[in-house]
Amino acid sequence: MSGLLTSLTFFTVVVALVGLERLAELVVSRRNAAWSLDRGGRESGRGHYPVMVALHTGLLVAMLVEAWVRRPEVAAWFAAVMLALVLLSQALRWWCITTLGPRWNTRVIVVPGLPPVRSGPYRLLPHPNYVAVVVEGMALPLVHGAWLTAIGFTVANAFLLRVRLRVEDAALATLPRAGGTEVVGA
């Protein structure tokens, strides 16, 4: 089993599966964004969205390039721990998606008149999906020792999240607290 966990082929398959999962997210996101916009939803932060797409796509490509070029030695126990963190981050992400239901998407859309979601992971944190993004962004490359990618993505993502959180928080701040609305994609 340790040889499998540390093989480049296994890592490539894991990254490809994450890529397929991202495509599934985009299908759900597109459907849910249409749902929100049909209900009068207002989108904010369009300017940073292409940067976010490029960063997340770049993460998948960069970690594969780094792993195949550098061919680092990875301890099986370390690969297993990082893979467990990736799986936990995926579980958290899909908990967020299912909790928000049709309000979740990858954009920032405020739907007037809908009460805020305060169940699931949102009862614990205001932006739990970003916890999943941060953990996965560090752990997924480290499954095969792509530490340059892990650090590079984490730093770039920190700058992006500063923008993204400001956009989401500003969108929420314009809404009444008691009968407020929800920002989707958070």
- End-to-end alpha carbon distance in the chain: 37
Q: Domain containing 14: what range?
A: 2-184
Model confidence band, residue 176 (pLDDT cutoffs 50, 70, 90): low
Which position has the token pair 């990875």?
74
Give the tens place of pLDDT for each residue, 1-41.
Answer: 567 777 999 999 999 999 999 999 999 999 999 999 999 99
Alpha carbons 46 and 148: distance in angstroms, whole number: 29
- DSSP E strand stretches across 17-160: 42-44, 108-111
Alpha carbons 138 and 101: distance in angstroms, whole number: 27
Give the tens place of pLDDT for each residue, 90-108.
Answer: 999 999 999 999 999 999 9
What pLDDT is recorded for position 182?
A: 44
User: What's 120's DSSP letter?
Assistant: G
Strands of the sheet containing 108-111, edge to edge, are 42-44, 108-111, 182-184
Alpha carbons 69 and 63: distance in angstroms, whole number: 10
Number of domains in the chain: 1
What pLDDT is recorded for position 117?
A: 81
Give the tens place of pLDDT for each residue, 125-162.
Answer: 989 999 999 999 999 999 999 999 999 999 999 999 99
Q: Read off the CATH number of the domain in which 59 is found.
A: 1.20.120.1630
